[in-house]
Structure 1
Amino acid sequence: MKHKTKVGLPPGTIKYTGKKGGTPLTLNYVEYNLESFNSETFEEVRKALIHKANDSLTQWYDIRGLHDEAFIQQIGDVFEIHSLALEDIADVYKRPEYTEFLNGHFLSLKYLQYQDGIIHIQNISVYFDQGFVLTFQEHEDDIFKPLRLRIQKAQGKIRAKKADYLAYAIIDFVVDNYFNVLDEIEIKTEKLEEALMTDIDSFERSEVFPLKKDLLKVRKVIAPLREALNMFSKSDSEDIEEKTKLYVRDVYDHTISVVDSLDTLRDILSGVQETHIAEMGMKMNKVMQFLTIITAIFVPITFLAGIYGMNFQNIPELQHKNGYFILLGVMAVLSGGMLMYFRRKKWL
């Protein structure tokens, strides 16, 4: 159903696949070199002058909101973006991947946020070539503000590097946030483990399934990024410096680390689930064992009570003066003896 709106359209058609409306279109523009920095924010994107700067500057257009397909096409015309890349930019369900075109490089990835116990996912598209980087995100949150501040304050190497390094920095920023989401999931997993070990009766088994679902959701969006970054780091394009490729490989290693951690957490949750089932089974076995022992104790007592409860006239003990008390004593001795036997056998 997600891609139903694209059925029958020719390749390269720009069709926004997300939820219509609600997200205003905003553009943050940054241009810089080692000596200068300039930044502007446009609430009305039609007022922005979309252009290519001279060779001495690096441009960064950060577009928030994808529902304006005509504006995406306008940017594509200015920067000569391939139609297939434009189509993928508007597709918020795009699987993370890296593609090299004649006039640029396209990479799609997912940005994750953990808020109020819910993992929010939005698609991020990065397109870059000599002198410029374009980022397209689905929601209005200004997630790259810390990165722009780094560039403004000339922190790190971005101001001294080219557009390929800025593209790496953007990707690295997104991947670093995966660890924040991972930490939140680890905290919830540890709490579940602690609850299982301390008080099994208060353990909420229903919390395991949503957490496993979150792990699967996160892994599904991160695992394909490994291959995309691997292709990025092995590109033969002259637009990407060898030093930048080293940094990209480092991000690639980070994604492997995140995926490994997700697999470990999934195994832990499976272990928690299995331990809970085993503990509940043992608890049930103890209950059944106790009931079986009670039944075993009452079998001979019931047998004696059944004999002396029969409606025969000639039962000698019925006429005995202390027959009732003798029978109770026999029952008590039988019960006590059986309890001692069960305890000696460590069944109790």
Structure 2
Amino acid sequence: MLRVFKTPEKRLGSAPGTLHEESADFGFLAACTSYNEDVFEHSSCDTVEACIEAIGREGTINWLNVTGDAIHGVLREIGRKLNVHDLVLEDIQNASQPLKFEEYDNFVFIVVKSLMYSHIREDFIIADTKILVGENYVITFSAEPVPMYLKLFKRLSQKNTKLRKLGVPYLLFALLDALSDGSYETLNRIIDIMEDLEGTVQENFQDFDVAEIYRIKQLMGHAKRSLWRYMEIINSIKVSDYMDIPDDVLPYYKDLEDHYKHMRDIVESVHATATDMFNLYVSLNGQQMNEVMKVLTIFSAIFIPLTFIAGLYGMNFQNMPELAKPWGYPAVLGLMTAVAGAMLVYFRRKKWF
């Protein structure tokens, strides 16, 4: 989990605003959707030039969605065309950024986080989404595909919808809402996993996957800290002079704020449950260890006097009358048996086993 906070070594010591070429597995994928009330165009942008041309279309709202890590070329051209500050471009390229809302003269830069399942890492992650919002465009950057965007594309393709009529502020809301829905979907999957783990820890805790619950505990702790700042981001959008949210769109942001408050409550509950399950496992494991130690201690306690008796009669003194008697050996065995039996009865009455 801590790897998400690491800074690549080649970026350390670089000048602020420096873009670095990344060695990504799949480069970048980009798709542009241009629309207004009457027009809808959706196309893939296979080159940097196509991406730049897409966000420069006039008379439509343009949404450019860029996916992948190797986006240095796209960023340089976007920065040149839209006059985006180098520090913003660097923040877009860096893998993990804190939530932020930055308002500039000609655009707004937003960083948000969402829960999702990474098919690359094959694990649940908290993914960054970086968003540039301009007068007639929205550009989203993410390291991996966001499944909920597909539903958003479908809604955009339908005529006479609010998404086609209410402009950039509503598109930004729809994107944040899609990320929220994706986080809810991921939370449901995590809750299903935890229910299975909860049954395991109660029925047979030895088969309990403590590593899995520890990962979930860490993930929820990170998500909880991130969600606390969502209210600040949404409030910044609502009062932004550049965004100038219309009155008919403002209620949707208030509803989005309620969604994130609800999600925060769920995350806190899941985190608390994961912590309780982890502590329960530690407690049960310690209890089992105590039972093992109790049995070993009882055996040790029984053999202490038996060892003393055996050691006593194992001394090679000449004047030990019992050694010469025919009943000496059976008598010593009987004494040992009596001592062991008496100790077992005593331990049993004390309910030590």
Equivalent position of 2:40 in the other structure: 37
> Is the partner of 2:98 in helix, strand or coil?
coil
Q: Which residue of 2 aligns with 1:152?
A: 157
Select which of 268, 271, 280 maps to 2:273.
268
TM-score of the superposed pair, with normalisation by structure 2: 0.79
1:147 to partner: Cα distance = 0.5
Give the alignment of 1:192-211 within 5 angstroms. 192-211=197-216
Residue identity matched to 2:19: K
Cα-Cα RMSD: 3.5
Q: Tell me, which stretches of 5 or more residues in structure 2 are unaligned?
A: 1-6
Cα 1:75–1:142 change in 2 (3 A) is farther
Worse-matched range after superposition: 144-153 or 217-226: 217-226
**Worse-matched range after superposition: 41-50 or 67-76:** 67-76
Counterpart Cα distance in 2 of 1:270 and 1:237: 43
User: In structure 1, what is the Cα distance between the partners aligned to 2:330 and 2:19?
Assistant: 93
- Which aligned pairs between 1:88-99 and structure 2 lie closer than 5 A? 88-99=91-102
Quick one: distance in 2 between partners of 1:22 and 1:308? 80
Distance in 1 (CA, whole Å) between partners of 2:310 and 2:71 is 88
Deviates more, 1:97-106 or 1:218-227: 218-227
Distance apart, 1:135 and its partner CA? 2.7
Match of 2:257 in 1: 252
CA–CA distance in structure 2, aligned partners of residues 301 and 77 of structure 1: 89
Question: Any conservation in 1 of the 2:97–2:111 contact (CA below 8 Å)?
Answer: yes
TM superposition shift of 1:107: 1.7
How does the TM-score come out when normalised to structure 1? 0.80
Pick the structure with greater CA Rg: 1
Deviation string 1:187-218 (CA, Å, 9 cap, x unpaired) is: 33333333322223333434444333433454
In structure 2, the residue matched to 1:228 is 233
* Aligned counterpart, 1:188: 193
Match runs of 1:1-348 below 5 Å = 1-2=7-8, 5=11, 9=15, 13=17, 15=19, 19=23, 22-33=26-37, 35-47=38-50, 48=53, 50-54=55-59, 57-64=60-67, 67=70, 69=72, 71-72=74-75, 74-75=77-78, 85-115=88-118, 117-120=122-125, 122-139=127-144, 144-154=149-159, 157-219=162-224, 221-236=226-241, 239-348=244-353
Once residues 318 and 93 of structure 1 are traced to their aligned partners in structure 2, the CA distance between those partners, rounded to angstroms, is 82
Structure 1 residues 51 and 287, CA gap change in structure 2 (3 angstroms): closer
Moved more, 150-159 or 305-314: 305-314
**What secondary structure sits across from 2:56 in the alignment?**
coil
Per the TM alignment, residue 149 of structure 1 is displaced from its structure 2 partner at its CA by 0.8
| 1:274 partner amino acid | N
Amino acid at match of 2:45: F
Deviation by residue 1:224-261 (Cα, 9 ceiling, x = unmatched) = 43421221133355731134232223223333333443
In structure 2, do the counterparts of structure 1 residues 64 and 340 end up closer, same or farther at CA, with 3 Å as the change threshold? Answer: closer
Q: How many residues align?
A: 343
> Displacement of 1:16 after TM fit?
5.2
Provide closer, same or farther for how the CA distance between residues 3 and 53 of structure 1 changes in structure 2, counting only shifts above 3 A.
farther
Alignment identity in percent? 28
What secondary structure, in the 3-state scheme, does the structure 2 residue paired with 1:242 have? coil
The 1:190–1:318 alpha-carbon spacing in structure 2 relative to 1, beyond 3 Å, is same
Q: Give the C-alpha shift of residue 165 in structure 1.
A: 0.5
Deviation at 1:145, TM superposition (A): 2.6
Q: Specify whether residues 175 and 49 from structure 1 end up closer, same or farther in structure 2 by C-alpha distance, changes over 3 A only.
A: closer
Larger deviation, residues 109-118 vs 134-143 = 134-143
In 1, are the aligned partners of 2:238 and 2:253 still within 8 Å (CA)? yes
Aligned to 1:251, the other structure's residue is in SS state helix
Contact kept in structure 1, 2:173 and 2:253, CA below 8 Å: yes
In 1, Cα distance between equivalents of 2:306 and 2:93: 80
In structure 1, distance between residues paired with 2:321 and 2:236:
99
What SS does structure 1 have at the residue aligned with 2:97? coil
Q: Secondary structure at the match of 1:109?
A: strand
Deviations 1:86-112 (A, max 9, x none): 554444433221222333333222354
Q: Return closer, same or farther for 1:155/1:95 CA change in 2, 3 Å cut-off.
A: farther
User: 2:4 — aligned with what?
Assistant: none
The answer as to whether partners of 1:32 and 1:38 remain within 8 angstroms in 2 is no
Q: Could you tell me how far apart the structure 2 residues matched to 1:142 and 1:216 are?
A: 24
Which structure 1 residue ranges, 5 or more long, are not aligned?
Answer: none
